[in-house]
Structure 1
Amino acid sequence: MAILVTGGLGYIGSHTVVELLNNNFDVVIVDDLSNSERFILKNIEEITGKKPAFYPFDLKRKELLTQVFDAHEITGCINFAASKAVGESQLKPVDYYENNLFSLINILQEFKERQISNFIFSSSCTVYGQADQMPIDENTPLKMPESVYGKTKQMGEEILTDFAKAYHRKISLLRYFNPIGAHPSAKLGELPIGIPNNLVPYVMQTAAGVREKLSVWGDDYPTEDGTAVRDYIYVVDLAKAHVAALQKLINDPSEETLVDIYNLGTGKGSSVLEVVKAFEIANNVEVPYQICKRREGDITIAYAHVDKAEKELSWKAGTPLEEALRTVWEWQKYLESRNT
């Protein structure tokens, strides 16, 4: 019996694969390597002492996906496979709709035909849009997301909810906030292709001299220092939440709840400039930055209400911001050592 992890060599996917293997799950990875590197597979094996099955192809190729299901007794799926850059999604909307939704539908076709349950969807706090109140809990009304990326996540949730009701399958929607950090081994971390779209990788590359300056998108938000506020969660904490959610789906005999929804965050917001300063303190480095105009698709403030995940999954994000940022710098050093 195996768990299919799509996008399993990506940032969150690779950390989750490690946690699954450490909890004695068999893992089958499908990843098209469009936003990941093959050496991550070797590093997963070095960390865990186990080698997951790996298939490098695009999930939109349904015939190849069928072959994977034929070859393995898949009993659940954690779906990370998606294009995920907010800014890029505004420029390439058709590509985002095609990639993020067609791949999901192909997996669900296999689940439907083979009577498989236990599906975990990598969702996002972007489904809330700019919420009216903080913190954001799971009952907060969804608004039209500000970005195409957010819209694909909201559509994905709707597709999965309809799927669960029509075919009586168990689904978990994990809405996470802003993952940061790297594995303690420094062998896994965020590996953006080209110019980073997320804050912390850009901070990392700026501190390392790869980028001249960090662009801070707006300092006129109605926040304490004028910069946007997010809930930054350590990626290993986040990965462990996926294992907890999967164990609940598999072990919970109740048929009452077909769709579980959980916010995954720390419950605390930090501004862009607070993150920059925390990175400088944690790693004794300087991060030069410049203030730019606001970026289309960004919201002002978002942080999570996390009681539900703590209560039902017995899970809590406990890693401090500075500690998570320290692991980022160790990951940067590892990447530099690979290039020497």
Structure 2
Amino acid sequence: MAIPAFDPDTPAFTRTGINLADPRLGAQAVLTSDDFFAPMARMLAPEPAMFIAGKYDDNGKWMDGWESRRKRVSGHDFCIVKLGVAGELMGVDIDTSHFTGNFPPAASIDACRSDDDIPHSDTQWTEVLPAVALNGNAHHFLAIEPVAGAVYTHVRLNIYPDGGVARLRVFGRPRRELAPDAEFNLASAMHGARIVAVNDQHYGLASNLLLPARAADMGEGWETRRRREPGCDWCIVELAVPGEISKVNVDTAHFKGNFADRCSLQGAFVTAGTDESLITQSMFWPVLLEEQKLEMDRVHAFTPERIMPVTHVRFNILPDGGVSRLCLFGHASR
């Protein structure tokens, strides 16, 4: 079954923000009080947490996440995560999937801004999420109250008093300083671009298109199911900032028997509406790049036929298949 473009069971910040704690953006778990049972780095893995019955290591039951030992003294455990890119925080998902008798009863989150991988002991931390109760084997989607101008580089997950967390997702919008006339990838998640909607992502998420480095394998791209009806597959991207696109790179790395046969690009300068309303509107947006033939496992460079200020693009793949990265180079609109 294809993953829906919008999940009504999750809050809006999971769609309007990106996961700043994604290791594919460069995020790292850099310090913990204790990770005896399961290493802190595992908590940031992009894939959903799994449970493998009967799997043990030298310290006990293998768990897919971060897990500290049973605390026999006062205090609580914590883990510091360096975000992949500095940004404004919007919300988190503290996921205790598969942790049933060993999840923490409560958690809180602090944040700071630091130029160091591991913040100094005298670094000023701000509590962005007060202590909340947790349940076992559950996602906890928790909004963070926005503070104007507050940009953070690190978060500290505190668990009370100990236990295991399968995954931590930190949703927000990157805030990077760019030279006024710089050419950059307007469709990079590192700069704040995001997927607004997608019609099908059966085998791979459309958000993978916006990752900064080339895909390590086919699983790190956007791949749709085999289309058995007329039409094409598509996704809508909100650019990092309004801009004019002067070069389009489409990378089909690792896609060989299943790459998209052709692609095209439409765009518009959107000033109102909702993410959902853009789906219908996007069908009628001006064409920036006419239909182009693609080949397997290579980077394709195209020059748009039409250059205009846009805030959003619709990337069409015909009729279906896989693309690993989409790069839209240009300048921010003045």
Provide TM-score, normalisation by structure 2: 0.25
Q: Which has the greater radius of gyration?
A: 2
Higher strand share: 2
